[in-house]
Amino acid sequence: MSHNEKQYSAGAMAGIKVVDLARVLGGPYCTQILGDHGALVIKVEPPQGDETRDWGPPFHEGDASYFIGLNRNKKSIGLDLSTQKGRDVLLRLLEEADVLLENYKPGTMEKWGLGYNDVISKKFPNLIHCRISGFGSDGPMGGFPGYDAIIQAMAGWMSVNGGKDKDPTRVGIAAVDMGTGLYTCVAILMALLEREKSNQGQYIDMTLYDCAIALMHPHVSNYYLSGGKVPEITGNQHSNLAPYDKLSTKTVDIFVAAGNNPAFRKLCKELGNPELSKDSRFLNNPDRLANISDLRDELSELMKNVNGEDLCKRLLLAGIPAGPVHNTEQVMNHPHSIHRNMAAELDWYKGTGIPIKFSRTPGSINSPPPKFSEHARSILAEHGFSDAEIDSLAADRALVEERNKL
The catalytic residue positions are 177
**Do 45 and 76 touch, CB atoms closer than 8 A?**
yes
Contacts of 49 (CB under 8 A, 6+ apart): 78, 372, 403, 404
Number of other CB atoms surrounding residue 14 within 10 Å: 12
Which of helix, strand or coil describes residue 131?
strand
Q: Distance of CA 167 to CAs 26, 147, 247, 288, Å?
A: 27, 21, 20, 24
Q: Of the candidates 209, 150, 174, which has an alpha carbon nearest to the alpha carbon of residue 55?
A: 174
Spatial neighbors of 197 by CB under 8 A, at least 6 apart, are none
Integer angstrom CA distances of residue 13 from 43, 142, 369: 17, 33, 19
Report long-range pairs for 183-189 (Cβ below 8 Å, ≥24 apart). 183/211, 183/214, 184/26, 184/27, 184/30, 184/101, 184/130, 184/132, 185/30, 185/33, 185/34, 187/130, 188/30, 188/34, 188/99, 188/101, 188/128, 188/130
Contact 52, 70 (CB under 8 A): yes
Q: Which of 129, 285, 270, 282 is nearest to 200 (CA)?
A: 129
Q: How many CB atoms lie within 10 A of CB 196?
A: 7
Q: Is 397 helix (H, G, I), strand (E, B) or coil?
A: coil
User: Whose CA is closest to 116, among 105, 131, 134, 137?
Assistant: 131
